[in-house]
Structure 1
Amino acid sequence: MDGTPPGVTVVAVDGPSGSGKTVLARALARDLGAPLLHMDDLYPGWDGLAASPALLAEQVLEPLARGERAAYRRWDWHAGDWATDPVEVPEPPGGVLVVEGCGSSVGPAGEHAAVRVWVDAEPALRMRRGVARDGEAYRPHWERWAAQEVRLFAADGTRGRADLVIDTSPGAG
């Protein structure tokens, strides 16, 4: 919690793809009246997971920690490049910012998180969810992304540093 800015509480909802992070983060943001930032906007493509925690920290969390307005470059998935217009982060009216996505509590981004939530589910279920949402054509991307997740989360010890762990697998408890 070293880098958490006074007056802004960052809640990072992290974990592997298909675990249910987005559903939880949307509910948290709604219930807290907080802006929600999706890491999908910050990943520099299908091979960019490792770069994203630093991008989040540099473009959003560090400016907020300095009491400044924050804006980030959004990745245009269709163009395969950065969009030209920056996206301003809304000022958190209640002092809370929810950040959702793989890597949102990793490394430099994690240093700014006041609360780290790890959302997980068993791997086959996560893959089924992802393919059901995005289509079978995206399976190779999902598999490539999953390998990046394993490396990033293992090197960082992300799950072990979470304040709260939620398993969305049927029968988990």
Structure 2
Amino acid sequence: MLHRDDVSAILIDGPSGSGKSTFADSLVAARGARPTALVRLDDIYPGWSGLDAAIETVQTGILGPWRRGERGGWRRWDWARNEPGEWADVAPGLLVVEGCGAFGDDVTRSRVLFHVWVSAPDAVRKTRALERDAGGFDEHWTMWDEQWRAYVDRADPERRADIVVDTDAPAAETHTIRGDAGSTVGS
């Protein structure tokens, strides 16, 4: 997918703790020295209640300008201060956007966008997310999950995926990837 001429942006969506960041890091590393902008929604969410605001920022501040061949950008969220931080921008070119809500509410299909849905069972995801954030996510899990489920109910993002990556298996094992035709391959 990173070497197809008709793909210019890869959106990686899925619930918290499913493995989106790890998958995105692997994709960018596979590009080697070729320039690839990586945008993480964790840098965009304006606090724990900011899923919908981040979705809007990605659609209008990043993907909108990117589609026009222009530089896009956003204000990073300073999690330590719980306030907007420095400005970040992204130049036109190959773009990887990863995070909860990356597909957004825009259901239009574009050959230049490739949608990857990363999934894992709820119990696995929750354990991963809470361990990863070393207690910082614990008190916010329920509120975040409610926003997440509202987004899924509204936008049905998994249905829009070009491929689905199941990360239930330990990282050392092969993950399951389902493509458009429903075929399953190892990664």
Contact 1:105 1:111 in 2 (8 A): no
The equivalences for 1:51-70 within 5 A come to 51-70=53-72
Any idea what the Cα deviations from partners look like across 1:94-128, whole Å, max 9, x if unmatched? xx200000011121397666110000100011111
Q: Percent identity?
A: 36
Greater share of strand = 2
Name the residue aligned to 1:9: 8
Mapped partners of 2:40, 2:9: distance in 1: 13
Tell me whether 1:44 sits opposite 2:49 in the alignment: no
Tell me whether 1:87 sits opposite 2:88 in the alignment: yes
Moved over 4 A (4+): 109-113
CA drift of 1:91 comes to 4.3
Any idea what the Cα deviations from partners look like across 1:44-66, whole Å, max 9, x if unmatched? 11001122111111111111112
Tell me whether 1:148 sits opposite 2:147 in the alignment: yes
**Greater RCO, 1 or 2 (C-alpha within 8 Å, sep 6+):** 1
Tell me whether 1:128 sits opposite 2:130 in the alignment: no
SS in 1 for 2:137: helix
Give the TM-score normalised by the residue count of structure 1. 0.85
Amino acid at match of 1:107: D
Tell which deviates more after alignment, 153-162 or 132-141. Answer: 132-141
CA distance 1:121–1:17, change in 2 (3 Å): same
Give the TM-score normalised by the residue count of structure 2. 0.79
Name the residue aligned to 1:78: 80
Mapped partners of 1:136, 1:54: distance in 2: 28
CA distance 1:61–1:8, change in 2 (3 Å): farther
Contact 2:70 2:92 in 1 (8 A): no
Name the residue aligned to 1:101: 99
